[in-house]
Amino acid sequence: MVMEVVDVEELSPTFKRITFGGPDFDLFQDSEAVDKYVKLLLPQNPDAGLVPPFDLDELRKTLPKDEMPLRRTYTVHSVDHDAKTLKMDFVIHGADGLAGPWADQAKVGDLLQFSGPGGKFQPDPAADWHLLIGDEAAIPAIGAALAAMPEDAVGHALIEVATGDDEWNLTAPKGVEVTWLHRGGPFTPESTVIEQAVKALSWRDGRVQAFVHGEREIMKSLRVYLNEERGVERSDMSLSAYWAYGRAEDDFQAEKTLPIGQIYPEAGLQY
């Protein structure tokens, strides 16, 4: 489907929220999942003049591989069926990447092609408490999960961002404590603080439902801590890597079937 940019909002120096609409909205098969995501199809060379919709089979006949559109995965922030629009949030980090620079230059009337959505997580009202953990890439899904929880829900949300300027005003039940963690700049293995914060958290009694998404190596460590040390059942965890430090998304996706890309020791078990 191809949708049109109808609004661009700067949330902070690091984030932009883009609203999409247009006739193809009716092709969007929404779901109740709070972590719903879509696959964007973006030109590698913005100056090549490619305009959606892209026919990849036809483009392969004329374009070299390094100029073909590439897929990028993004979480849907929210869907407004009355207005026939959906919102997506983009992390902006200069000229790095593909989707970030596209979003940084996006203006009303621009077109974007994507497919989906996927996703399956929903807060379980029967859980005794909730634990949500993530970095910038997980904020839209964490925000949607918090908003979908019953009013009497309790728990913790730990979210790592660069600085206080990147904090969002999230809607959450009174019993869910939202903690923003500042690493002081761009993510590096040395600057990240989220793993330490999770391990320092006072553990509650009862069955926890955990939503844990972020950088791949951090997810591997937290999987061991939550699953093996804290005894959280796999069925009570939505845990996977949204990205990997030092990897473009194409390399990151390709590595998912290799030992380096597996969050669980068994191949293919990424939740």
127-176 per-position pLDDT tens digit: 999 999 999 989 999 999 999 999 999 999 999 999 999 999 999 999 99
Q: Which residues, including other chains, have CB under 8 Å from residue 222's CB and lie 6 or more apart? A: 133, 195, 198, 212, 239
What mean pLDDT do residues 25-34 have? 91
What mean pLDDT do residues 1-8 have? 96
Output 97 or 65, whichever has higher pLDDT: 65
pLDDT exceeds cutoff 80 at 254: no
pLDDT at position 95:
67
What mean pLDDT do residues 192-204 have? 96
The confidence band for 266, taking pLDDT boundaries of 50, 70 and 90, is low
The confidence band for 270, taking pLDDT boundaries of 50, 70 and 90, is very low
What is the helix (H) or strand (E) element at residue 176, kind and residue range?
A: strand 175-182
**CA distances (Å), 227 to each of 141, 183, 234, 263, in order?**
22, 25, 7, 12
The confidence band for 271, taking pLDDT boundaries of 50, 70 and 90, is very low
Strands 15-21 and 111-118, how do they pair? unpaired
Burial of 157 (0-12, 13-18, 19+ CB in 10 A): buried
pLDDT exceeds cutoff 60 at 90: yes
What mean pLDDT do residues 206-214 have? 97
Nearest 10 degrees: CA dihedral of 259, 116, 170, 128?
-60
What mean pLDDT do residues 206-230 have? 96
pLDDT at position 267:
46
Alpha-carbon Rg for the chain, nearest whole angstrom, is 19
What is the per-residue burial (b if ≥16 Cβ within 10 Å, else e) of 98-135? Answer: bbbbbbbebeeebebbbebbebebbbeeebebbbbbbb
Query: By percentage, how much of the chain surpasses pLDDT 90?
Result: 67
pLDDT at position 132:
98
Type of residue numbered 89: D
The answer to whether the predicted template modeling score (pTM) of the entire model surpasses 0.85 is: yes
pLDDT exceeds cutoff 90 at 112: yes
pLDDT at position 232:
96
Please report, for the chain, the start and end positions of each structural domain, with discontinuous segments joined by +: 2-118, 129-261
Is the separation of the CB atoms in 91 and 186 below 8 Å? no
| Range 2-118: architecture per CATH | Beta Barrel (2.40)
Nearest to 168 by CA among 201, 144, 152: 144
**CA distances (Å), 248 to each of 70, 71, 84, 86, in order?**
11, 11, 32, 26
Compute the distance between CA of residue 259 and CA of residue 257 in angstroms, rounded to an integer. Answer: 7
The confidence band for 234, taking pLDDT boundaries of 50, 70 and 90, is very high
Q: What is the mean pLDDT of the chain?
A: 90
What is the helix (H) or strand (E) element at residue 71, kind and residue range?
A: strand 70-80
What mean pLDDT do residues 207-231 have? 95
Is the separation of the CB atoms in 34 and 191 below 8 Å? no
What is the helix (H) or strand (E) element at residue 61, kind and residue range?
A: helix 56-62
| Range 129-261: architecture per CATH | 3-Layer(aba) Sandwich (3.40)
